Structure 1
Amino acid sequence: MDDFDSRFLTRNGLAARQLAVLLLNHEPDTRLPRVRDFAEELGCGNGTVQAALQLLEESGAITTTARGHLGTFLVRSDRAVLWRLSGLGTLLAAMPLPYSRRYEGLATGLRGAFEQAGAPFAVTFMRGAGARTAALLEGKVDLVVLSRFAADQLIADHPVELVADLGPATYVGAHGMLVRHGVDLETPGLRVAVDHTSEDLRMLVERVFAGRRDIEWREVSYM
């Protein structure tokens, strides 16, 4: 560890790391909060914030400029350096099992987007929207990929939020139901497969057979 890096272990350096997290939310050419506002949020003094800002400038993470009564503006930020100094580590995303080219493409696109944003990114594959959401709530992953259909239901039931809507058909092209040849859906006593780890499958199948008490449900992995 060189002399400069060791400065980030001091009180001012620790404040700089906390400040780096906050600055990740600011775009270039925007006005920064006042020093005393940063100080209040970080729970430290104005002088500590000023020293922390100077450390971040010296590290090449940011460039700021004072514009008189307009305040201090963020001229430039290097998100990769800010992320490294923040100590946030690698973001872990949980995605569905990559059983189609569409899922594989989505995983590749997400990795590229995060790398371009300067954030280390890794993917773990996990079957079932409910299981992925449980992993998020337990702090095992930082974000999850869900269909919007499943997300709307899970957001209503759990303390999670939607951070990005990637638009229609980025997750799946369409939903469908497979029926054995020659079987009529109105046939009494139908045996219907359902995978309760998949919010999409569960909700769609239950919607198709809503009100039917004669259905014999069979727990089967959708894979």
Structure 2
Amino acid sequence: MEIFKTADYNEGEYTIYRKLHVSCSTAGGNEKMMDHQLMQKVGIITQKVAMAFFPLKEGERIPTIDELSHRLKASHGTIQAAFQLLKEDRAVELNSRGHLGTFLTYIDRLKLLEIAGFKTMVGVMPLPYSKKYEGLATGIYTTLERHGLHAALAFMRGSNNRLKGLEEKRYDFAVLSQLTAQYYIDRGENIRIVENFGKFTYVGRHVLLLREDDPARESDRFEGYKIGVDSSSVDQKTLTKEFFGEKDVEYIPLVYSQIVPFLRMKKIDAAVWNLDDIDLAANHLAYRALDNRRLNIVDTEAVVVCLSENGFVYQILKTMLDRREVLDCQKGVLSDEIMPKY
């Protein structure tokens, strides 16, 4: 798997170029010892070696120069120059143990990110209309920032829209439900799951929302009903089609946020809805449970996904996104002990 296809390297390249230029200038005063093209190549390879070192832990054996030379398609001398730059910059310390190999004795991951030119991790989440989403956003943002990585979150309605932004590389990661992520993966989308936060971390419960005087609360007679469907939401669309199956209903396209007002205005008769943060009595609404227990569990699980090809982002998130800390932040927001921050 190729893990070196990410980020904008311009700033990192310039930093490494300057260091190489200074090294050449001070080594006998001959600036022509290494031309611009070679300096640029060493800079790029140094960034890739920094990425290769990033997921390693202190005490682990590092890849050999021969292995990295083959993987990165660079000469042994270029790899050795990259090692030297990383050591001089105090990004890593290495200890050679002869035939056993070379081992990592110290690692500064933030320095490696700086050298790799990776400055900000940008994610995209659902619109923060519920405290669960606010808690999740707070947890992700806080955890990444605490580890020294600058984080930025965007908010976007519809999992289809979030996936598109991820594929266009406007975002490094996206937050979806497990149900939605698996739906995309099963259809060959180029994404992988980084972390699953567990049951009821995405939503509390999806239900079928109806008006409070609707007789369908107690029966399965939905013939002729107008059912609201948001086609941009895999969860809402999938759960809706699973519930109604072959029933004689009319599907009305809408935006998820229109469901409650459309019910009040009688433009629709029912719709699948997240039960979090809604005042049923004030809106004269009621609900009934969905039948499919398998789907109505995985749709409650929040997951973080990234592009399958983006191994570096995957490794950064695996290393710096602390699951327990994210969940603690979410619980704190839900209990009003922590102010949302994202």
Provide the C-alpha distance between the structure 1 equivalents of 2:16 and 2:132, rounded to a whole number of angstroms. Answer: 45
Q: Secondary structure at the match of 1:146?
A: strand
Shift of 1:5: 6.3
- Of the candidates 109, 118, 122, which is equivalent to residue 139 of structure 2? 109
Shift of 1:114: 2.2
Provide the C-alpha distance between the structure 1 equivalents of 2:146 and 2:20, rounded to a whole number of angstroms. Answer: 25
Superposed CA RMSD in Å reads: 2.0
Ranges in structure 2 where 5+ consecutive residues have no aligned partner:
1-10, 22-38, 258-342
Query: 2:81 aligned with 1:69, yes or no?
Result: no
Aligned CA distance change for structure 1 residues 153 and 91 (closer, same or farther; 3 Å): same
Check the 8 A contact 2:16/2:43 in 1, yes or no. no
Provide the C-alpha distance between the structure 2 equivalents of 1:3 and 1:172, rounded to a whole number of angstroms. Answer: 44
Identity %: 34
Q: Please show how residues 42-53 of structure 1 align to structure 2 within 5 Å.
A: 42-53=72-83
For residue 26 of structure 2, what is the aligned residue in structure 1?
none
Provide the C-alpha distance between the structure 2 equivalents of 1:171 and 1:200, rounded to a whole number of angstroms. Answer: 11
Shift of 1:117: 4.0
Shift of 1:211: 1.1
Count of aligned pairs? 222
Shift of 1:68: 2.1
Q: Which runs of 4+ in 1 moved over 3 A?
A: 1-5, 116-119
CA deviation string 1:133-168 (max 9, x = no partner): 111122221111001111111111112111211111
Provide the C-alpha distance between the structure 2 equivalents of 1:15 and 1:177, rounded to a whole number of angstroms. Answer: 55
Provide the C-alpha distance between the structure 1 equivalents of 2:232 and 2:177, rounded to a whole number of angstroms. Answer: 14
Shift of 1:63: 1.3
Q: Higher mean Cα deviation, 178-187 or 26-35?
A: 178-187
Ranges in structure 1 where 5+ consecutive residues have no aligned partner:
none
Aligned CA distance change for structure 1 residues 18 and 211 (closer, same or farther; 3 Å): same
TM superposition score normalised by structure 2: 0.61
CA deviation string 1:7-44 (max 9, x = no partner): 25723333211211111122222111111111111211
For residue 261 of structure 2, what is the aligned residue in structure 1?
none
Provide the C-alpha distance between the structure 2 equivalents of 1:164 and 1:77, rounded to a whole number of angstroms. Answer: 24
Provide the C-alpha distance between the structure 2 equivalents of 1:119 and 1:27, rounded to a whole number of angstroms. Answer: 18
Larger Rg: 1 or 2? 2
Provide the C-alpha distance between the structure 2 equivalents of 1:187 and 1:114, rounded to a whole number of angstroms. Answer: 47
Provide the C-alpha distance between the structure 1 equivalents of 2:90 and 2:43, rounded to a whole number of angstroms. Answer: 14
TM superposition score normalised by structure 1: 0.92
Provide the C-alpha distance between the structure 2 equivalents of 1:108 and 1:20, rounded to a whole number of angstroms. Answer: 29
Check the 8 A contact 2:16/2:115 in 1, yes or no. no
- What amino acid sits opposite 2:82 in the alignment? A
For residue 128 of structure 2, what is the aligned residue in structure 1?
98
Check the 8 A contact 2:222/2:249 in 1, yes or no. no
CA deviation string 1:70-99 (max 9, x = no partner): 111111211111111101342211100011
For residue 23 of structure 1, what is the aligned residue in structure 2?
53
